[in-house]
Structure 1
C-alpha cells in the first residue's frame, strides 16, 4: 500500500501554478493601472486648466496692473501663459484611449465570471441539463460575435498601417488606439473558449453537439439569404437572444450583426469601427469615475460615518434605524450614482444592525433595497449620464433636475417606514442625542458631505465638466480613504479598482453594442414609425405619458435600467418631444420609472443584493415591497404630471 503523503505536500499539489495565476488574472494589473492613470490625468487636466484660467483672470485685473505693471510686461506674460495651455491638450485624448482599452479588457473578466447583465427568467426555470446546453449556446454565439469583431478590428488596423493617420493631440498613429479591437475582442474570444471548455467538461457528447448545433441553426437564415426584413431580424433576434439568457450587450451586438448579414443595412466591416467610435467620448468617461468614487468611499469608511449622522437626525423616532438607513442612502446617492452600490455599501452595515435591534429581517432588507433606488435619481447618477449621451441632453441639467424628485422619493419612503415601524412597535434606540452629539457626528462625516459640494459645486460653478467632477470625486475618495480615515488598504484599493473597472465595462460594452442597434433603427426609421403609429391613435399628452409609464414599469421588471435607457431613448424621445415634453423632464421620468425596476422581480438587482445581506429569500422579500412600491409609483406620477418639480431648479 502506498504511504499517505504529508498534508503540506497535498496542500502544495492543490495550489495553482504561477502560470495558472498569471493566466487567470492577466487583465487585472492593466485595469488597475489604467483606472488610476485615467483619474490622475483628468485631475491634472482639471487643475491645470483651472489654474491657467485663474492666473489669466488675476493678470487681467486693474489691481495687478497697478502693482506689477512697471516691472512686468503684462501682455507678454499673458501670451506666455496662454501658450502654456498646450501643455494639457494631450490629456483628454490619452485618457479617452486608456478608457477604451481598460473597458474592453475588463469585459473578458465578466465573460469568464459570467457577470454580464442578462434576462435569466426562463433560463432559471430549466432543468440543470438544459441550462448547461443553453450556456453552450450562449458561449458559442458570444464566441462568433467577439471573434468577428476581433477579425474586423485587425483589418481596420491593417488599413491604418497602409493609409496612416495620426491623432489630433498625441500625434500617434490611429492604429495604436485601434489595436484594442483585435486585442480586446481576441482576449474575449479566448475567455469565451475557456468558458466553453469549462462548461462542456461535465456534459455528455449528445448535449455538447446539441449546444454547438443550435448556433449554426440560428445563423443559417442570414447566411443563406440577405433579403430579409431588417426590422424583423433586428427585433426578432434581439428578443430571442434575450429569452435565451444571452447577456444584453451581446444580444444587442448579435441582433445587429444578424441584421447586417441578413438585410445588408450596413457594411459588416463598419461594425468594428462603431465599437470604437461609439465609446470614444469624454462624457461617457464619467461612468467609471463615479463608480470608482462610490466604491472607494464605501471601502474607505465613509458609509458608516454617514449612517452615524443619519442616526443622530432621525434615530430617536419610531423605526429610527430604518429612517437612518433611508437617510444614509440619500447621502450616499450623492456619491455613488448606482442603486446596487448604494444597497451594498449601506445595507451591509444597516441591515444586520436593524435585525439585531429586533426589526423584522424582511422589513430591514426591503427598506434598504427601496431606498437604494434613490441612488440613481439624486445626482450624480450613471443612468442620467447614459441618458444624456443617448439623448444629447445636458448631463449637468439632468443632475440638478433629479435633486427634488429624489428627495421627495426619500421622504415618501421614510413616511412608510415610520408608519410600519410605529404599528409594529419598532422604536428608535434610546440614548442621548443633543446638538453636541449631532455636531460630533457631522464633523466625523464632513469628508463624505463634501463630495456633493465638490461635484455639484464644480459643475454648476462652471469650474468642471461632469466627467472632470467625477474624476475629482474618485481622487478625493482615494485620498480620504487612504490618508485621512486610513481604512482603504492596498488590498481593498486593488479589489475596489477591479470592481469599478469591471462594473463600468459592462455598461460601456452595452452602450457600444446599443449604438450599433440604434444606428440600424435610425437607418430603418423605426423610431419615427413608432411615433407616427402612436400619434395616429392619440395625441393626448396625458394618455401618451400614462402609456409610456406603464411600458417603462413593465420593461423595468425584465431589463436592467441602463440597458433599457440605451435601447429605448431613441424610440421614445421623438414621441414625447412631439407632444411637448421637455427632454430633461423626460429623462427624470424615465430614470425614476426604471429605478423602480430595481425592486421588482425577477430582475430587481437591489432585491438580490439586499436578500444576500439579510440571508432571506427573494420571494419573501418581493412580497414585502408592495406598500413601498405603490408609494414610489405615486411619486413617479406626481413627477410625471407636474414637470415643474423636476425643472424648478433649472
Structure 2
C-alpha cells in the first residue's frame, strides 16, 4: 500500500511539472516523516552519501571529455572517418550516423552527449541530402543509446557504485553488445533506406581518402584507446582513465588547432551544468532508495518473486518487465539508483550472474531512452530536427526492436554476455 501511495505521489508531482530530482526528494522526505521517526539531519546525511563515491568522480570527468571533444574538432573528424568507411553504401549517411555514435559512445559515456554531438552535425547533413527529418532524428536518437552500452559508460559507473561490481568488468561486458547492437542498427538503416528509396551515394569509396581521414582522426581515436587500455592493463582505474581522457581531449583539441580558450570555458560550463543535473538526481534518488529500504518496500517487491528462485530466466524476465515499466516513468539514472537496488538481494540469493543482470539493466535503460514519455534520447534529436516525437517513433520502433533482441540474447544466452570478461579475467 505504501509503495502504491509513493508511486501516486511521484506521478502527480511529475504531472504538474515538478523536476524529477525535487519529485524524488519531496516524496522520500514526506513518507519518511509520516511513517518513520528519524531526525531530519539523518536525511541530509543520506543526500550527501548519494554522491560521496570515488567511482562517481569519473562521471564529471567523462562528461568534460565529451564536451572538449565537441569544442576541439574531434566530432567532425570522426564523422569524416565514418563517411569514408560507409559513404558508398545505400543509406550511407545514416550509417555514418550510427558509426559516429559508436565512436562518440567510446568517448563520452553518455547518451545525451552522443546525441547532441552527433545530432548537431548529422541531422542537418542528412536533411540536406534528402533523408526525412523524422528518420534522421530516429537514427540519431537510437545511436545515442550506444553511449550507455559501449564503455566508458556513465550508467555502468553508477551501476558499479551501487552493486559493488567492478566497473572494468562492466566495461568489458558492454563491448560485444555495443558492437552487436550497432550492427543491428546498420541493418535497420539499410532496410529502411531501400524501402524509402534513398539511393544516393554520399561519397564513393577511396582508399586514399580512408587513409587520410584515418590519420586525421588518430588523436581522436586515441581517447577510447587510452581509456580502455589503461583500465584493461590495470595501470589506471576508470576514474583515473577519465582524468587521462580529459587531458588527451585537451591535447587533441590543441593539435587540431580548434580548441580555443573560449571553447575550453564553454566546455567547462557545459560539463558543470550536466554534472550538477546528474548528481542532484543521484543524491535525491539515494534518499528515495533509503526510504524504500526503511519502509520495507524492497521486501514487498521481491518476496513474491522468490517462488521462481530456481529459474533465473523467469526472474530476469519479470525484473525486465518491472524495469521496463519504470523506464516509462523515470529517467534511467533514477531507475538504476532506486529500482535496481530492490533486485540486488534477489540476484545474490539466486543463480543469476551479477554481470548478466547488469547488462539486462543497461539495455532496458537504453530502451527507456527511446520510449515516450520520458524518452530522453528523443527529446534532443526531435528538437534539432524540428519534428514531433510521434513522427520519429514510426522509425524508432525498429531500432527499439534491435534492443529488445539484444535483451533476450542477454537473458537466454548468458555465455554470450560473459565471454569477453571470462576470456580476459
Structure 1 length normalisation: TM-score? Answer: 0.62
Deviation at 1:539, TM superposition (A): 4.9
Aligned equivalent of 1:540, options 303, 311, 316: 311
**Deviations along 1:71-120, whole A, 9 cap, x unmatched?**
xxxxxxxxxxxxxxxxxxxxxxxxxxxxxxxxxxxxxxxxxxxxxxxxxx
Q: Give, in whole Å, the separation in 2 of the partners of 1:475 and 1:379.
A: 18
Is the partner of 1:269 in helix, strand or coil? helix
Aligned residue in 2 for 1:259: 31
Question: Is 1:463 matched up with 2:241?
Answer: no
Aligned residue in 1 for 2:295: 524
Aligned residue in 2 for 1:327: 99
Aligned residue in 1 for 2:173: 401
Aligned residue in 1 for 2:258: 487
Q: Give, in whole Å, the separation in 1 of the partners of 2:292 and 2:388.
A: 40
Q: Is the 8 A contact 2:326 2:335 kept in 1?
A: yes
Deviation at 1:586, TM superposition (A): 1.1
- Return closer, same or farther for 1:331/1:230 CA change in 2, 3 Å cut-off: same
Aligned equivalent of 1:602, options 365, 373, 377: 373
Q: Give, in whole Å, the separation in 2 of the partners of 1:265 and 1:281.
A: 27
Question: Is 1:586 matched up with 2:353?
Answer: no
Q: Which runs of 4+ in 1 moved over 6 A?
A: none
Aligned equivalent of 2:409, options 628, 632, 638: 638
Q: Give, in whole Å, the separation in 2 of the partners of 1:231 and 1:600.
A: 24
Aligned equivalent of 2:196, options 399, 424, 427: 424
Q: Is the 8 A contact 2:91 2:190 kept in 1?
A: yes
Question: Is 1:248 matched up with 2:20?
Answer: yes
**Deviations along 1:439-467, whole A, 9 cap, x unmatched?**
11110111111111100111111111111
Aligned residue in 1 for 2:85: 313
Aligned equivalent of 1:514, options 285, 309, 318: 285
**Deviations along 1:116-161, whole A, 9 cap, x unmatched?**
xxxxxxxxxxxxxxxxxxxxxxxxxxxxxxxxxxxxxxxxxxxxxx
Map residues 552-631 of structure 1 onto 2, 5 A cutoff. 552-631=323-402
Is the partner of 1:602 in helix, strand or coil? coil
Map residues 101-120 of structure 1 onto 2, 5 A cutoff. none
Q: Give, in whole Å, the separation in 2 of the partners of 1:558 and 1:522.
A: 20
- Return closer, same or farther for 1:279/1:352 CA change in 2, 3 Å cut-off: same
**Deviations along 1:510-556, whole A, 9 cap, x unmatched?**
22222222223223333233211222377532222222222222222
Q: Greater relative contact order (Cα 8 A, min sep 6): structure 1 or 2?
A: 2
Aligned equivalent of 1:649, options 407, 420, 423: 420
Aligned residue in 2 for 1:443: 215
Q: Is the 8 A contact 1:234 1:258 kept in 2?
A: no
Q: Give, in whole Å, the separation in 2 of the partners of 1:597 and 1:501.
A: 25
Aligned residue in 2 for 1:95: none
Is the partner of 2:151 in helix, strand or coil? coil
- Return closer, same or farther for 1:236/1:559 CA change in 2, 3 Å cut-off: closer
Deviation at 1:632, TM superposition (A): 2.0
- Return closer, same or farther for 1:431/1:521 CA change in 2, 3 Å cut-off: closer
**Deviations along 1:390-414, whole A, 9 cap, x unmatched?**
1121111111111111111100010
Deviation at 1:322, TM superposition (A): 0.7
**Deviations along 1:450-503, whole A, 9 cap, x unmatched?**
11110011111111111111111112212222x111222222222221111111
Query: When the two structures are aligned, how many residues end up with a matched partner?
Result: 421
Q: Is the 8 A contact 1:290 1:337 kept in 2?
A: yes
Aligned residue in 1 for 2:268: 497
Q: Give, in whole Å, the separation in 2 of the partners of 1:474 and 1:291.
A: 9
Question: Is 1:549 matched up with 2:320?
Answer: yes
Aligned equivalent of 1:348, options 120, 123, 135: 120
**Deviations along 1:223-268, whole A, 9 cap, x unmatched?**
xxxxxx9757655544443343322222222122112321234322
Q: Is the 8 A contact 2:148 2:155 kept in 1?
A: yes
Q: Give, in whole Å, the separation in 2 of the partners of 1:270 and 1:232.
A: 25
Q: Give, in whole Å, the separation in 2 of the partners of 1:431 and 1:343.
A: 23
Q: Is the 8 A contact 2:308 2:315 kept in 1?
A: no
Q: Give, in whole Å, the separation in 2 of the partners of 1:261 and 1:626.
A: 43
- Return closer, same or farther for 1:278/1:357 CA change in 2, 3 Å cut-off: closer
- Return closer, same or farther for 1:238/1:542 CA change in 2, 3 Å cut-off: same
> How big is the alpha-carbon RMSD for the aligned residues of Structure 1 and Structure 2?
1.9
- Structure 2 unaligned regions, length at least 5: none
Aligned residue in 2 for 1:29: none
Q: Is the 8 A contact 2:82 2:99 kept in 1?
A: yes
- Return closer, same or farther for 1:453/1:546 CA change in 2, 3 Å cut-off: same
Q: Give, in whole Å, the separation in 1 of the partners of 2:216 and 2:176.
A: 26
Greater radius of gyration (CA):
1
Q: Is the 8 A contact 1:314 1:324 kept in 2?
A: yes
Aligned residue in 2 for 1:294: 66
Aligned residue in 2 for 1:476: 248
**Deviations along 1:601-637, whole A, 9 cap, x unmatched?**
1211221111121121222112222222222211221
Aligned residue in 2 for 1:365: 137
Aligned residue in 1 for 2:110: 338
Q: Is the 8 A contact 1:230 1:263 kept in 2?
A: no
Structure 2 length normalisation: TM-score? Answer: 0.94
Q: Which moved more, 1:304-313 or 1:568-577?
A: 568-577
Q: Give, in whole Å, the separation in 2 of the partners of 1:496 and 1:426.
A: 36
